Structure 1
């Protein structure tokens, strides 16, 4: 049986500025189909989820309700990804790990959106990696690596090419509001989950499928690698 790799696929990669990127998803689907690995994919909500969550707050929704609304966006994006992998991916977008794990016995790819309020899709990806005994987790976002501060706001932000789990947890601990759409590039709970199971993690620019392929194949890439 082929080894499993879990992708935490940012919603901003799938659906930049509210427009689904069909051409990108076609290319990603081909990359995954051609790989010797099996894949678990957890898709985020991106900008659309953040917009709806904030609009819900303005209407008086609490954080639980804002999360529920954001989760709908993640599942919409996940359905879009699953459609591109028709034939290789289970057509069901899962919201539970038991279902995903069962489908993993029959399909090359299983796709999930968000699961429950208070849990980010990064955390869902970390849990799926545990459930599937994944070889590694690859975080695909609009950020090309992990930095000591937000590189969009700080041109002097320090980029890390390798970190230990304790380093990652320390960076994530600086700001973890648990609000929908508001977290470090990988939220604190997700960091603790990959640390407890020693799951190797790679952080790459999700728009660069060349870098994604390098991370999949275990080759050097310009992002960040997390392991002991």
Structure 2
């Protein structure tokens, strides 16, 4: 592991469910404090950090669409849920002394900025955390796809997907005790095996733009710092 960060700019993808902690709904304050501390350590090391957050802890449009709600309406409600989470992350990181900006793919100027690529990059260059909200701004696209898109747009060195398990497994390790973890995969292998790492749109976008991906356990203290400092043993590496 190197003494200098292995990456200059990272994009971290967080699911909305990750913010719940042990709760059944909403945002757990202890999770936010832990996340803010992990981000501060990385930024103090000179790494630029952007995030994309989901909204499943508050509302998931796809689920209600299956119950009869109009899918576009449901997805728009889900986009608003991601904005709530993004504002919570902004508040948490500012409490530990960092600067943060929320940029939304849908216009809600009273509470955050519009997503403008060049402005986002400028914020990163100034050491600010940038939280991208509202997915891509379009229905039918997941926040995984939004994360892949933003990672490519801001020229991130790597996209990190924080999950509840320590990488990608042959099957769901919570359901199958015989599942084994991959140390690394190619995008084509992950797509062919249908491992459910991310939706296929996101995977193909990362593959075609040679975006590195690391899937890791967000609950492991120091894991984020370990990855940015070059520890190849943390999580699963996915590459072209």
Q: Matches of 2:199 and 2:84 in 1, distance apart?
A: 22
In structure 1, the residue matched to 2:116 is 99
Paired residue total:
215
Q: Which runs of 5+ in 2 are unaligned?
A: 1-6, 107-113
Shift of 1:131: 0.6
Determine helix, strand or coil for the equivalent of 1:77: helix
Equivalent of 1:12 in 17, 23, 33: 17
Higher helix share: 1
Q: Give CA deviations for 1:81-122 in whole Å, capped at 9, x if unaligned.
A: 122233744433322795144232134221112232111111
**Counterpart residue number, 1:169:** 191
TM-score, normalised by the number of residues in structure 1: 0.83
Aligned counterpart in structure 2 of residue 65 of structure 1, from 73, 96, 103: 73
The one-character-per-residue Cα deviations of 1:20-64 (angstroms, maximum 9, x if unpaired) are 2332233233223323111110011233333x6535653x31222
Cα distance in structure 2, aligned partners of 1:98 and 1:75: 12
Structure 1: gaps of 5 or more residues: 175-183
Q: How does 1:172-191 map to 2 (within 5 A)?
A: 172=194, 184-191=196-203
2:63 is aligned to 54
User: CA separation of 1:11/1:100 partners in 2, compared to 1, >3 Å: closer, same or farther?
Assistant: farther
Q: State the alpha-carbon separation in 2 of the partners of residues 54 and 125 from structure 1.
A: 21
Q: Output the TM-score relative to the length of structure 2.
A: 0.79
For residue 225 of structure 2, what is the aligned residue in structure 1? 213
Contact 2:103 2:115 in 1 (8 A): no
CA distance in 2, matches of 1:205, 1:168: 18
1:43 and 2:60 aligned: no
